[in-house]
């Protein structure tokens, strides 16, 4: 029987990629509320990341900001080094960093496919690889997919292809970490009111998506953060799964 880790640390530490805005920022704040020291990663928005860190510190929490391209393995190796040095280790890695470029498959600019491949697939692989090497016993690795892998909305083909790859690598990694006492899961949000999701959508489209779930509303970043926080703390028996946090979207 696999032993459950009994090791304890002075402070549990979480690294959240894409943590300066949207769902990532909500996750950062939720984990800070749960007592984690948090590393807030950003790709380009240092101002937002630093503001989030300042807010956490004002509430007697512990946080740092750290930038870099998630698809650059050398930069991310250095980022993980900094988190370990400044915060003492890493217990949870949440990889929300991603981009979404929509187009019918027949009309897609292949440069857009390459951009999504680099961030969503390569970036997730780089972060997962570092996390698999660094996360301490009793920890969690949480990647991000999308409920559109099941709903098959038009224009999402290339984006969904990248996220289906995320789901697959997540399932494999969960099994590769057998005996390490580290859980690996993916969260697949449904329609969620973030700038990334709302960009380019008219009011009618947003209203229709709001009514698509039995709860008849869009999700909020805080809804998704609650799911992540559970996986990062109490959800130790959930492993190798895709969790559809979508309000019942079919």
Residue 16 exposure: Cα atoms within 13 Å on the Cβ side:
30
Question: What are residue 69's phi and psi, to 5 degrees?
Answer: -80, 120
Name residues whose C-beta falls within 8 Å of residue 212's C-beta, 6 or more positions apart in sequence. 190, 191, 249, 250
DSSP lists the bridge partners of residue 143 as 95, 186
DSSP conformational letter for 58: H
What DSSP string describes 142-189? EEE--THHHH--TT-HHHHHHHHHHHHHHHHHHHHTTTS--EEEEEEE
Structure tokens at 244: 């559809």
DSSP lists the bridge partners of residue 142 as 94, 185
Structure tokens at 207: 């209203």
Name residues whose C-beta falls within 8 Å of residue 189's C-beta, 6 or more positions apart in sequence. 23, 144, 146, 147, 219, 224, 245, 246
Q: Which positions are catalytic?
A: 159
């Amino acid at each position: 029987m696999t032993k459950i880790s009994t090791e304890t640390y002075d402070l549990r530490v979480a690294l959240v990629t894409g943590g300066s805005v949207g769902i990532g920022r909500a996750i950062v704040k939720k984990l800070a509320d749960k007592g984690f020291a948090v590393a807030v990663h950003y790709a380009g928005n240092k101002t937002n990341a630093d503001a989030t860190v300042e807010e956490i510190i004002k509430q007697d929490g512990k946080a740092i900001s750290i930038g870099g391209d998630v698809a650059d393995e050398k930069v991310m190796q250095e980022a993980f080094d900094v988190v370990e040095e400044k915060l003492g280790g890493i217990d949870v890695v949440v990889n929300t960093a991603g981009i979404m470029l929509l187009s019918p498959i027949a009309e897609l600019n292949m440069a857009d496919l390459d951009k999504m491949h680099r961030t969503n697939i390569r970036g997730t692989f780089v972060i997962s690889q570092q996390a698999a090497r660094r996360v301490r016993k009793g920890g969690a690795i949480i990647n991000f997919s999308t409920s559109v892998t099941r709903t098959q909305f038009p224009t999402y083909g290339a984006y969904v292809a990248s996220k289906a790859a995320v789901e697959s690598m997540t399932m494999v990694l969960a099994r590769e970490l057998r005996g390490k006492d580290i859980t690996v899961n993916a969260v697949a949000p449904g329609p969620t009111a973030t700038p990334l999701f709302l960009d380019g959508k008219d009011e009618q489209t947003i209203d229709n998506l709001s009514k698509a779930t039995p709860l008849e509303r869009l999700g909020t970043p805080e809804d998704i953060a609650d799911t992540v926080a559970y996986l990062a703390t109490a959800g130790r028996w959930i492993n190798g799964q895709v969790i559809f946090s979508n309000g019942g979207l079919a």
